[in-house]
Amino acid sequence: MNTSFVPPRRILMGPGPSDVAPRVLEAMARPTIGHLDPQFVGLMDSIKLHLQRAFDTTYPLTMPVSGPGTVGMESCLVNLLEPDDVVVVCQNGVFGGRLKAMAERCGARVVHIQDEWGRAVSPKRLASALSANPMAAAVAFVHAETSTGALSDAQTLAGVAKEYDCLTIVDAVTSLGGSPLHVESWGLDAVYSGTQKCLSCTPGLSPLTMSPRARQVVERRRAPVQSWFMDVSLVTEYWGSGSTRSYHHTAPINALYGLHEALLMLHEEGLQAAWARHKRNHLALRAGLEALGLEFIVPASERLVQLNAVAVPEGVNEACVRARLLKEYNLEIGAGLGVLAGKVWRIGLMGYSSRPDNVMACLSALSRILADEGLANSVAEATKEAEHVLDTYESD
């Protein structure tokens, strides 16, 4: 291909990435400067401050890791786990399974708790596992399981872990900026996220924060961290405070411009307002989807508002529906993963994608395609129900 690539304009309503805010794209197009330039170092300080606000923490070790959310996950595990450490890994979807696989590669002894896909992690099962394994050093779980649309009670799970003097390693890839998350007051020790979900930024960076307690574990390790690149003791010499920074790697400069702009937008909107926006649009979408006859797989009390997992109606070709949405309406939704492959659609309302016009576009397109698949429905009824929620919603 000897011509410039010009991507089509899509409405991204899958499990991620989400639509990138125009302000973020503009910021990323600004002139590149050196990664040790004094002006860039000042930007790093600002990014750190805004990430602390987004995570609702004052933890000094707060920074974006160069790489997607999976790199944030691996960074937490390789720094906090050593060979033969016992770690309890709670799995209720694909990404809990990824935590387990990475912990095993660290040489840790994994105590595996398997919860039903589409349900929250069970605090009772966690307490039972910790009672049976008093040598456990850490507990790892996914706050917002992107593969199923389930939201677990991170505060309660962290409280259980604390009773057994365990660190908590928490996946907040899909929850940061979209669901209530209070890292410090909930007592979470190592939390990582991604920029491409509710932060309205591009993929490629993983915000991470660690408590002083977690930092002590890193400092007291018996052996060096197995990954040089992800060793937070080295990375923090670059992402530390003040004007003097030690070279670690060439940071993705323009991507960090974008993250800074995205965090500014979150600060301007306010965390509480961002959470309320995601909830309002979710409730509108839910009302419309239910009017179309679609059913959610996650109970309402355990449901993510930014990732809606609905069951594919019997007799409907789920892949054909997704393909037509993309081809005819430039609208992307996600397929099921793992045991849910072919059984669900995952419809995202994350970050800049979480807008009323996207809700209406999705309902209208789905209605028409499902009608062609033989599912009787009324687009007028679906949009009416959604509009009613949008007009009457009052935040908590």
Strands (E), 279-382: 307-311, 331-332, 334-335, 344-348
Q: pLDDT tens digits, residue range 245-284?
A: 888 999 999 999 999 999 999 999 999 999 999 999 999 9
Confidence at residue 392, expressed as pLDDT on a 0 to 100 scale: 95
Q: Is the pLDDT of residue 396 over 80?
A: no
Confidence at residue 243, expressed as pLDDT on a 0 to 100 scale: 56
Cα dist from 105 to 71, 93, 356, whole Å = 14, 19, 43
Query: For tokens 């990475």, what's the residue?
Result: 102
Tokens of 48: 């750190």
3-class secondary-structure state, position 389? helix
Residue by residue, DSSP assigns 140-194 as EEESEETTTTEE--HHHHHHHHHHTT-EEEEE-TTTTTTS---TTTTT--EEE--
Is 201 within 8 Å of 24 (Cβ atoms)?
yes
Q: pLDDT tens digits, residue range 197-251?
A: 999 999 999 999 999 999 999 999 999 999 999 999 999 989 987 657 888 999 9
Strands 334-335 and 344-348: antiparallel
User: Mind listing the domains of the chain with CATH numbers?
Assistant: 22-267 (3.40.640.10), 271-392 (3.90.1150.10)
Q: Is the pLDDT of residue 1 over 80?
A: no
What integer is the mean pLDDT of 54-83?
Answer: 97
Is 308 within 8 Å of 149 (Cβ atoms)?
yes
3-class secondary-structure state, position 223? coil
Q: Which residues contact 287 (CB under 8 A, 6 or more apart)?
A: 385, 386, 388, 389
Task: Count CB-CB contacts under 10 A for residue 65.
Answer: 23
Residue 288 CA, chain-centre distance (Å), reads: 25
What is the percent of the chain with per-residue pLDDT over 90, rounded to a whole number? 94
User: Is the bond preceding 356 in cis, omega lying within 30 degrees of 0?
Assistant: no
Confidence at residue 112, expressed as pLDDT on a 0 to 100 scale: 98
Query: For tokens 């993929």, what's the residue?
Result: 203
Tokens of 24: 């973020």
Confidence at residue 69, expressed as pLDDT on a 0 to 100 scale: 96
